[in-house]
Structure 1
């Protein structure tokens, strides 16, 4: 009998925790409709192209609709050498991708969100120049997906709070 009372109290506590599903209502929910209404203009550079494609993939998956918002993104992509070896060559690099973005409501021009996102990756510099360039490119592709994912999550939180 005591176990039942403890279980009932725990369930009651969980129901009052305030957690709500982000995508309540599935594709027809407020967040999914809001994400589907975000347009992403072209972003400068190769990293911009990769980030924009990742954003469009995630936002279009939420369901298309007439554009109500615009997402302006500026990127900072850096590749710096670390770990100098005894022969004065670089043995390790770090690629950093940072984004500053703003969600603008098209009807009013109001900035609903002004935030940043970013990620970095370490790259081993090896004797094969081709392998190093391939590793740098792979790092950029992975960082682009990670930054886009961070942006979409923050957009979803902002749109959820507005609905």
Structure 2
């Protein structure tokens, strides 16, 4: 068993994988993420996403922002399941974000990408329950999209830190 563990450790070391957050809170990726400012995003979905992004980014320690994260959202609900009487029985809520990581001093766009996710919603007889399900789906989608955005920015920061060495 010890030999297997040793072989796996050696194989992993040779594959070129490195921890994304190497160095912990004082590492280059965490330090760079702490210098990202989230630009205001309009609407309820924008509020939910910007809050989720701020929750995932390390808190800034009084230092000025080096980067600005600009996000444009597309939120839609599409009816999928339709009965013979034309009532919808299933919906799909889609949240798509086009985001740019911008150098705050020069205005240069460093990352220009998209993130998104979908959620299925059952439409029931209670309109209140359906609206509550749509809102819950939006909250969950905001969390998923925020995870995707922060991960993509962290990967960019890791590559930038590695190329600077």
Q: TM-score with structure 1 length normalisation?
A: 0.91
Higher mean alpha-carbon deviation, 59-68 vs 142-151, is at: 59-68
State the partner residue of 1:27.
25
Unmatched 5+ residue regions in structure 2? none
State the partner residue of 1:44.
42
Contact 2:30/2:58 (8 A) holds in 1: no
1:139 counterpart SS class: helix
Q: Tell me, in whole angstroms, the C-alpha distance in 2 between the residues paired with 1:11 and 1:60.
A: 31
CA shift digits 1:93-136 (9 cap, x unpaired)? 00000000000011221111000000000000000000000000
Question: Relative to 1, partners in 2 of residues 1:63 and 1:7: Cα closer, same or farther, differing over 3 Å?
Answer: same
Question: Relative to 1, partners in 2 of residues 1:6 and 1:129: Cα closer, same or farther, differing over 3 Å?
Answer: closer
Question: Relative to 1, partners in 2 of residues 1:87 and 1:14: Cα closer, same or farther, differing over 3 Å?
Answer: same
Q: Tell me, in whole angstroms, the C-alpha distance in 1 between the residues paired with 2:132 and 2:61.
A: 34
Question: Relative to 1, partners in 2 of residues 1:137 and 1:8: Cα closer, same or farther, differing over 3 Å?
Answer: closer
Higher mean alpha-carbon deviation, 5-14 vs 44-53, is at: 5-14
Q: Tell me, in whole angstroms, the C-alpha distance in 1 between the residues paired with 2:113 and 2:146.
A: 13
Q: CA RMSD in A?
A: 1.9
State the partner residue of 2:12.
14
1:60 counterpart SS class: coil
2:57 counterpart SS class: helix
State the partner residue of 2:113.
115
The structure with the largest alpha-carbon Rg is 1
State the partner residue of 1:139.
137
Return the offset for 1:65. 3.6
1:51 counterpart SS class: helix
